[in-house]
Amino acid sequence: MMIKPVSYALTIKTDFAESSFSGTVEIELELSLLTKCVVLHATNPLQVHAAVLVQEGKRFAPCSLETDEEEEKLSIDFEDELKPGKATLGLHWTGQLSAEARFGYYKIPCEDDEPEGEQYAVTHFQPTMARRAFPCFDHPTQKATFSLTLLSPAGYTSLANSPELERSSSCGTLPTTTVLTRDFLGLEKSAEGAAWEVVRFKTTPIMSTYLVAWAIGHFRLLNHSYLETSYISPITNIEVPLRLYAATARKYVQRGLGGQALDTLARAMPIYEKLFDIAYEYGKVDLLVCDAFEAGAMENPGLITGQPLSLLHDPATGGRSSKKIVTTTVAHEASHLWFGDLVSMSFWDELWLNEGTATWLGEVVVVHELQPDWNVEVEFVRTHRARALKLDCLLSSHPVHLPVLKNLPNAVAEAFDDISYAKGSTLLRMLSHTIGRIAFIRGIASYLKKHAHGNTTSVDLWQSMSEASGVDVPRMMETWTSQVGFPVVTVEEDGQVLKLAQNRFLASGPASEEIDQTVWTLPLGVKAFEASNELESKLMTTRELEIPKPAGLFIVNREAAGFYRVSYPPVHLSLLASEAISPTCRLSLPERLALLQDVIALSSSGHTRTSSTLSFIRTLASTTETPEYLLWHDIAEALGHMLDTWWEQAPEVQEGIKAFARSLLEPLLDRVGWSYDVGDSTERKSLKSLAVGAACVAEVPA
């Protein structure tokens, strides 16, 4: 790159009375070539008023400042050439604080029953919104350090990525910049009649612009008993403070709902440090509850922001669902402090590297350490894996590595979908099961150390995984990230041989030859149930493959680890259904879930007959064992899907489907009951709610 930013000295002044902000920045640059033009990002609502560049003591005044609104860029032209080497660019701008937008730097107005002055302002810059708050080189690879100074009316709390360095109302605390900060951001009284307060923060480590964050408002700590929480780094033995803030006037502040988020953070941070053997480096972690927030939460290092639903849990009324949302959200965002913040993707087409890893490591691996009784990997199979399979079998799907042509909001936004999150994390789960959990974590740690403070692509991760496992991971994973879709593996028994064939699976039916072009490198996990319950792992790299047939019952996708569907012969499928309801069932719950999901998907897409699906569901529902919520969730969903699919058919067809549903639900309701009982577990309550809801649709008489 011709111009590289090294550091930003950024000063922001916020005026709530005028709903405006102004700023100055001093950007240390490294120029690699002769140039007469500096181009960086800046767009609405910024109005850039002044610029100056200093190189080797000489000041260069621009001959023009031109804004390209379409490309969201600011071009600064000079009459004289700038030489290769170091230079300092100074800029001054103003902007409006909008209450409508939920990105860039914006304000959250006070609610109707709150006193005036309780509005607050926050930032949200991912993916390309930093340019709406300050002129910058707004690209993930353009990393730099940031020294931030915030000016606000006295009495407000100022938060940022790094710890506070000093606080004063004295002009002397303002940094001196090439565009005369004191002149542009003087400390005259604010429009509200109060003095200005200046808060300076420590310089951050090297980071991308989309991770810069600050907030100004009347905030209150929601820590346990309003005392600070912390953890001791197992790497440095240094205490790292953890705090949760929310707007003082909000009603939930009075109930002190920050315990679950802070407890999760305090327990998760040391786990991550030990897993990666890398200490967290921002000195503190603040959580800030934002009432108007576009994302669920955002992983700004040192200042994680999020919705109330994502960060607050009331133990008295919230229930397990609320607790799980907060726990998984905090664990997910904390994972990003290494995977995404310390090491960032090279561009937004590799977003899945950030989000897939944070989903798998944060929401499954680490949450399992925190809450082993939650069976989070089983839940992952029912939710993330199932959702990824449902999306990726559509003709409208796209590869995990999604080409992003421009560094603009609309172009980048397409990458933020369940293919990046759900499929990305499911592929990492598949890799973890294939090379082993220990090698997988070792590969992650090696990758983070090798690329700390840098930017990467998928190839960099695969290389570290190969070094840790001895497996040719790039060869195995290339088709999964670069190609759209996934296969269905058709199993055919021929004497003592299993004939396997892989073809692209589509929800609309068998793929045509034109569409069915990809041959995936597919990890088979053959699990045989007879004799010593032998296991075999094998990579399928061809369209068709023959392997020895195991004796007795078997499956070819052990633990539902592979990202593919399996079509078994009808007789073998019937045997698997009987095994699934056996008191001594040897199929794990993920395997049973995957079997049910595959059977339903194959039928609804026309790959197999509906009658075989109904027979499989009837067998699965007839178990005399304790009913399992996760299986019944998918059964109820399948019944609802059938009613939706055939809603235009004759009344007798609809009634036939409802009659089938009633034949399954009535025995279930006889066993679990129609109402909650004292002592019901959370899963039992969920199962009852599910059964009653499905019974209403199927018109089961009470």
Annotation: binding site: 332, 336, 355
Q: Which two tokens stand for residue 393?
A: 């079998």
Q: Given 72, 197, 299, 333, which residue is catalytic?
A: 333
- Upper half-sphere CA count for residue 341 (Cβ side, 13 Å): 27
- Upper half-sphere CA count for residue 343 (Cβ side, 13 Å): 25
CA distance 356 to 343: 14
- List helix spans (H) across 506-569: none
CA distance 611 to 434: 35
**435-473: burial string, b at 16+ Cβ within 10 Å, e else:** beeebbbbbbbbbbeebeeebbbbebbbbbbbbbbebeb
Q: Which helix (H) or strand (E) holds 522?
A: strand 522-528
Integer distance in angstroms from the first to the last C-alpha of the chain? Answer: 71
E strand intervals along 139-213: 145-153, 157-160, 164-168, 196-201
Listed in sequence order, the residues at least 6 apart from 58 whose beta carbon sits closer than 8 Å to its beta carbon are none
Listed in sequence order, the residues at least 6 apart from 611 whose beta carbon sits closer than 8 Å to its beta carbon are none
Q: Which two tokens stand for residue 176?
A: 């001196």
Amino acid making up residue 1: M
Examine the residue annotation and report whether 333 is marked as an active-site residue of this protein: yes
Per DSSP, what are the bridge partners of residue 24? 11, 92
Listed in sequence order, the residues at least 6 apart from 346 whose beta carbon sits closer than 8 Å to its beta carbon are 140, 141, 455, 456, 457
- Phi, psi at 188, each rounded to 5°: -65, 165
Task: Report CA dihedral (304, 308, 314, 317) to the nearest 10 degrees.
Answer: -150
Q: Which contacts (CB < 8 Å, 24+ apart) does range 576-584 have?
A: 577/615, 577/616, 577/619, 577/620, 578/619, 579/529, 579/553, 580/619, 580/620, 580/623, 581/619, 581/620, 581/622, 581/623, 581/624, 581/625, 583/624, 583/625
**Residues 449, 278: contact at Cβ < 8 Å?**
yes
Listed in sequence order, the residues at least 6 apart from 408 whose beta carbon sits closer than 8 Å to its beta carbon are 71, 72, 128
Query: CA nearest 121: which of 94, 163, 151?
Result: 151
Per DSSP, what are the bridge partners of residue 229? 242
CA distance 210 to 527: 46
Q: Which residues are annotated as a binding site for Zn(2+)?
A: 332, 336, 355
Does the CA dihedral 364-672-599-657 come out positive or negative?
negative
> Largest alpha-carbon pair distance within the chain?
90
Q: Which residues are catalytic?
A: 333
